[in-house]
A = this chain, B = another copy of it.
């Protein structure tokens, strides 16, 4: 490629390096940093991301971008060069609306707020987190104002995670999903053949859980030469380049599901990151098309693969060998039904597929109300609990299992949650296509073979990173726009079978 484009890449490479360094610092902060490191760490993160912003919106960078735009104008509009330039342009346009000082302050406040959340969650005490969250929400409201006029104050936040998506669109999707998911859950509760998942609630040695999780992640295609797994309070995936994408997990010594499905979920994210074309390293395309597309990869691995019958045909005998006293006498079908038990439960990340989106809708309603100024941070525990009763008919025993359960708000990730639901939809939509393209897929999975699946994902999704916008990518791959139908169809047929409903 020619000069101007290379110059842009080099300048962007510096910005990438600053952001990747910030990611290393965040990884460390959430996993290994001692308490004494908290306040300077917040300063360090603020400096890195503020400087990255200063560089991105600088005149020097603007000029380089303009020169590169002109240079690539005549190339194939789908080639990497054009798409790199286009994505950089979108980012510059967006970030020029935001002052560098805001970026620094937001970074510092959210770093401290994460540290506070961790402690508040451990002590199940919302009050000590409240002042931090207040600042975060205040900053997010400021952020929305940078993008005024907007259709809805939540739009700029949503756009941050799901470029192009509007609050009204999410509402419309949720309005379509809600009654059907509620009806399904109701139907299961009233007419389903009971499922007993007590076998999952036994003591399981942490070391053995770890080893089995690693084995599964490797089998799925997560490459430990270009990543690693550590323990974290709230599992996450983070990358510093195509060759270093790390996952985290957490353990419940008395419940098998936490680490097992958590690891598959994060491996799904990480394989996306590891699968981006290496020539796109140090560009902003390696981030992934959107958080929704990212969640389609993680939720697909966790659920469409990890909670499927074929998967456990391959892995259940192995799991039984690891935990003979707990599972030796449990047959595959009983295990399969247990891991798919539908239950109105407290913790989103452990929710079954039928109720999962209800957890998301609850958060979406709270977040939009916060941004509209209809509720305030101090009201959150009460509102959370009352919505839990509305949606799921249960009341959290404490804040740790309620409003404090997720790390997202402490990070300023208001607007993220809808992408989980969108990811669920996209995963099912993609799966229909995958199933067409790999006719004997179920047989392969039953043999523990994921090579064709990974190759398909690499070819159609991973390699491109953020080259295509999310809806464009979905359209290119599946031939249709976002639709809840494949997802609802998948849910219904899966649970009708498990719960023997007609």
Contacts and interface: CB of A to CB of B under 8 A. Distances in A.
B48 A226 contact: no
Contact of A43 (B13, B27, B34): B13
Contact of A224 (B22, B34, B228): B34
B228 A40 contact: no
A17 B35 contact: no
Nearest to A241: B40
B240 A35 contact: no
Given A17-B44, A21-B44, A34 B244 contact: yes
B20 A21 contact: no
Contact of A228 (B14, B34, B281): B34
A29 B305 CA distance: 34
A373 to B, nearest CB: 34
Count of identical protomers in the assembly: 2
Contacts of A37: 226, 240-241, 243-244
Nearest to A227: B34
A480 to B, nearest CB: 36
A40 B240 contact: yes
A25 interface: yes
Identify whether the interface residues of A are mostly helix, strand, loop, or mixed: helix
Interface in A1-49: 13-14, 17-18, 20-22, 24-25, 27-28, 32-41, 43-44, 46-48
Looking at A14, A17, A39, which has the most chain B CB atoms within 10 Å of its CB? A17
Contact of A28 (B24, B225, B241): B24
B226 A40 contact: no
A353 interface: no
A18 B227 CA distance: 24
Contacts of A13: 43, 47
A282 interface: yes
Contacts of A367: none
Given A43-B282, A44-B21, A244 B36 contact: yes
A36 B223 contact: yes
B282 A36 contact: no
Contact of A281 (B40, B46, B47, B281): B40
Contacts of A47: 13-14, 17-18, 21
A244 to B, nearest CB: 3
27 contacts: A17-B43, A17-B44, A18-B51, A20-B40, A21-B25, A21-B47, A24-B44, A27-B28, A28-B28, A34-B225, A34-B227, A34-B228, A34-B244, A35-B225, A35-B243, A36-B243, A37-B226, A37-B240, A37-B241, A37-B243, A37-B244, A38-B243, A39-B241, A39-B243, A41-B240, A41-B241, A44-B240
Given A14-B47, A36-B243, 8 more contacts: A18-B48, A20-B40, A21-B22, A21-B44, A33-B244, A34-B225, A37-B243, A40-B282
Interface of A: 13-14, 17-18, 20-22, 24-25, 27-28, 32-41, 43-44, 46-48, 51, 223-228, 230, 240-244, 246, 281-282
